Amino acid sequence: MQQEKSKEDHSRLINITAKDLTARNRRLVEVPYTATLSQAMNTLVANSISALPVAAPPGHWIGAGGSMIMESDKQTGAVRKHYIGILTMLDILAHISGGENLSDPTDLDRKMGCQVSSIIGHCLEGLSLWTLNPSTTLLECMEVFSKGIHRALVPVESSIESSNTISGVELVESSSAYRMLTQMDLLRFLRDHHFDDMKDVTKRSVSDLRAVNESVYAITESTTVANALNSMKAALLNAVPIVHAPDVAEEDHFQLINGRHRKVIGTFSATDLKACRLPELQTWLPLSALEFTEKASGNERETVSCTEETNMEEVIEKVVTRGVHRVWVVDQQGLLKGVVSLTDIIRSIRAALL
């Protein structure tokens, strides 16, 4: 009987598709290409999301990365709009932090009045717009997300699905509606559905599963928000640990440093800026990133961390409940040893399942 149950559960894990993973997700939240950065940021904040697809009329734009992802009328099949890219929080930050006049209010107003279409692609991710066919299996979705793709659009009913069942990543798609599937959605699904064949994997430590990335860039307690943003933009990082570094050279407060073996005292993340209103943002750019994170979260936020011995189940629980996209790996003294990102979690679980 026990054996039968486990077999059935295994088949369930194998039978899960992108359609199942997005079944409870709301309809797509998007902005038109004419939206200002300020309007886009308000949409991100109001919906508690960190990325927005940008829609344009068909025929006017080349899609990000050559993609042709369309929304079409369900009855007539006529194309209504074309998704031309994704605007991420990092794009907005990169745009705000560019230039010299970070403390000039008129400069920030001007930047926030820019159209989103002129900003897509500041960062690589904004240019990678992917769709996953609804019939793509859970393991195939994991393969895509283990390569550092953070999100993909899943058509509610794919025009491609009927002709022949292609699964996996598509660059051409037409559907009357889409839902967004993110790395976090996938991990939340795994946490909420206790698949028997997952238990052996998630009970193993992050070190045993080789999920820990030992290369970890950090900023110091004196690095300003503006310098942190410029460094993160250059390195394509959405978040960095803030470390205690009293012994570093003066210029190290202006750039990323190797964070290993230093005490973690906070996290500076692109999504922290969602909590800001524009007038606040203006006055906060010259602050240290550490002061900023304390102000943005209303109090000192506990850094989400684990040790190399922490099991994967606990790490998934931390990222899902705390809504973070990475967990800092520290030793018993709280000194930084590495990081486990959502990409690392998905990659290592998939490898263990296979």
> Strand pairing partners for 255?
none
Q: Is 308 exposed, middle or buried (0-12, 13-18, 19+ CB in 10 A)?
A: middle
pLDDT tens digits for range 206-248: 999 999 999 999 999 999 988 898 888 888 888 999 999 999 9
Q: The pTM is what?
A: 0.85
Q: Which residues contact 130 (CB under 8 A, 6 or more apart)?
A: 67, 144, 149, 151, 152, 153, 169, 170, 171
pLDDT tens digits for range 74-130: 777 788 888 888 888 778 877 877 665 655 667 778 888 999 888 876 665 656 678
pLDDT value of residue 199:
87
Q: Of residues 174 and 191, which shows the higher confidence score?
A: 191
Kind and range of the H or E element at 30?
none
pLDDT tens digits for range 7-52: 444 447 888 999 999 998 888 899 999 999 989 988 888 888 888 8
Q: Which residues contact 87 (CB under 8 A, 6 or more apart)?
A: 31, 40, 51, 52, 53, 54, 116, 119, 120, 126
What's 180's DSSP letter? Answer: E
Kind and range of the H or E element at 33?
none
Look at residues 237, 233, 195 and name the one whose alpha carbon lies nearest to residue 217. Answer: 237
* 66: helix, strand or coil: helix
pLDDT value of residue 308:
96
How many whole angstroms separate alpha carbon 354 and alpha carbon 352?
5
Q: Where are the beta strands (DSSP E) in 210-321?
A: 217-220, 239-243, 257-258, 264-269, 305-306
For the cut 60, the answer to whether the pLDDT of residue 150 exceeds it is: yes
How many whole angstroms separate alpha carbon 58 and alpha carbon 71?
9
Q: Of residues 45 and 164, which shows the higher confidence score?
A: 45
